[in-house]
Amino acid sequence: MSSGALCTGTSPAAAVLAPLGRDGGRALMLGHVHPDADVLGTLLALGLALEARGWSVTYGGPHPAPPALDFLPGVERYRRLATLDGAFDVAVLTDCPNPQRTEGLIEQARRASAVVLNIDHHPDNRRYGDVNWIDLSAAATGEMVYELLLALEAPLTPAIATNLFTAVHTDTGSFRYSNVTPRTFRIAAALVAAGAEPAFVSQALYERRAPDALRWLGEALRRIEVSDEGRLAWLALPSDGVEEALVESEELVNYPRSIATVRVACLFRERGREVKVSLRGKGDVDVQRIAAEFGGGGHRNAAGCTVDGPLAEAMRRVLAAVRRALAERKGPSAASEAAR
C-alpha cells in the first residue's frame, strides 16, 4: 500500500490539483466492482472536463456500467477492462474505499500511471493512492468532484452537470438521507443552473420499469421478514427466484428500511456461491462496523459486504451480528426490560 499525501478538506488541496491542472495528457478513470451512479457520474464528469482540455481519457473498471445508468452522458465510453493499455499521466479512482474492489486493476494502474489519485468520502478508505483526498463530510463523491472542477476552473457543461447531479441524487437517496447538508443543496442548485434536469434524472432513475416489473417487485416484497420487536427487517432473494437485472435496478433494501420501527434493514442477494449483503441503518447502529466484521465496508448508515453462501448460512451469520449490534445499542437496562 502506498502512503501518499492525505488531504481532507472540502476543497481540493494543491496536491490534488497538480496532476490534473495541465492541458493535455492521458488519464485513466478507474471504477470499482458494480459501479454505481456516484462512481460513474464522477468519473465521467472529471473525464469529460479533462477531454475538453485536450486530454485523452480511458474510462472503465472490472464490471460494465449497469443498464439502469445508461442515461449518464458519456457512459457508452465506460468499458469493462481486463488489462490496461499504455501509460497514463494520472489514474483517478472515485468512491472506492478499498483497492481490492478493483479486482486487481489497481496494481496495473499503479504500474502504468505516474500518479494514482484517490477521491472518496468513505470513512474506511485505505488511502491507497499517491494522493488521497478523503472528505467524510461530503454526501457523495459527486460533491467533491464538483469542488474539484470548480478549482480547476473547468466549464460545467450540461453533460458534466447531469453526471454530478445524478451522483449526488443517488447517494443521498434523492436528497432524503442524513448525509444531506446545506452544501449538498448549494451544489445541486449550481448543477441545475448548469443544465442538469432534476425531472429527467428522476424519470431515468425511477420511472423506466418494465410493464411486469411491479408484479415481480410485489412478489419480492412478500418475502420481507420483520423481527426483534420490529427493529430488524430483511429481504432474502435466492439466486433462482429473481432476475438479476431487476434486482440491480431497484434499491430493494429501502423497503424493509421504510418500516417505522426498523433500526437495521438487510438485503441478501444470492449470487452463485456468494451472498451480497446490503445493510442500512437509521443513525443509531453503525452498520459499517457490522459489514466490516465480514470484510465489507461503507458508511455509518449504508454499508455492504459479500459473504460465503449458502444463503441460509450467510443470513444466520449476518443477522446474528446485527442482533449483537442492536443489543449493544439498546444497552443492558433496556435489554433486560425487553426480556421481561
Residues that bind ligand 5GP (CB under 6 A): 97-98, 278, 296-299, 302-306
Of 287, 283, 275, 277, give the one whose Cα is nearest residue 322: 287
Q: Is 239 exposed, middle or buried (0-12, 13-18, 19+ CB in 10 A)?
A: middle
With respect to ligand 5GP, which residue has the nearer C-beta, 25 or 297? 297
In the complex, minimum distance from the CB of residue 297 to ligand 5GP, in angstroms, rounded to a whole number = 3
Q: Which does 296 bind (CB under 5 to 8 A by kind): Mn ion, ligand 5GP, none?
A: ligand 5GP
With respect to ligand 5GP, which residue has the nearer C-beta, 115 or 291? 291
In the complex, minimum distance from the CB of residue 21 to Mn ion, in angstroms, rounded to a whole number = 25
Determine the Cα–Cα distance for residues 76 and 278; give it in Å rounded to an integer.
Answer: 28
135 near Mn ion, judged by CB under 5 A: no
Q: Which does 62 bind (CB under 5 to 8 A by kind): ligand 5GP, Mn ion, none?
A: none
Q: Which does 147 bind (CB under 5 to 8 A by kind): Mn ion, ligand 5GP, none?
A: none
Q: Which does 38 bind (CB under 5 to 8 A by kind): Mn ion, ligand 5GP, none?
A: Mn ion
Of 152, 180, 182, 147, give the one whose Cα is nearest residue 164: 147
CB 187 within 8 A of CB 209: no
Instruction: Match 412478500 to its residue by C-alpha cell.
Output: 222
38 near Mn ion, judged by CB under 5 A: yes
* Reduced DSSP (H G I as helix, E B as strand, rest coil) percent helix, strand, coil of the chain, to 5: 40, 20, 35
Residues 6+ apart with CB under 8 A from 337: none
With respect to ligand 5GP, which residue has the nearer C-beta, 112 or 303? 303
With respect to Mn ion, which residue has the nearer C-beta, 25 or 297? 297
Pairing of strands 131-134, 5-7: parallel
Task: Point out which residues pair with 191 in neighbouring strands.
Answer: none
Q: Which does 306 bind (CB under 5 to 8 A by kind): Mn ion, ligand 5GP, none?
A: ligand 5GP
With respect to Mn ion, which residue has the nearer C-beta, 125 or 249? 125
With respect to ligand 5GP, which residue has the nearer C-beta, 113 or 278? 278
Torsion of CA 209, 213, 218, 222, to 10 degrees: -110
Q: Which does 298 bind (CB under 5 to 8 A by kind): Mn ion, ligand 5GP, none?
A: ligand 5GP
Q: Is 325 exposed, middle or buried (0-12, 13-18, 19+ CB in 10 A)?
A: buried
Which residue of 89, 143, 147, 171 would you call a contact of Mn ion, by CB under 5 A? 171
Interacting residues with Mn ion (CB under 5 A): 38, 95, 141, 171
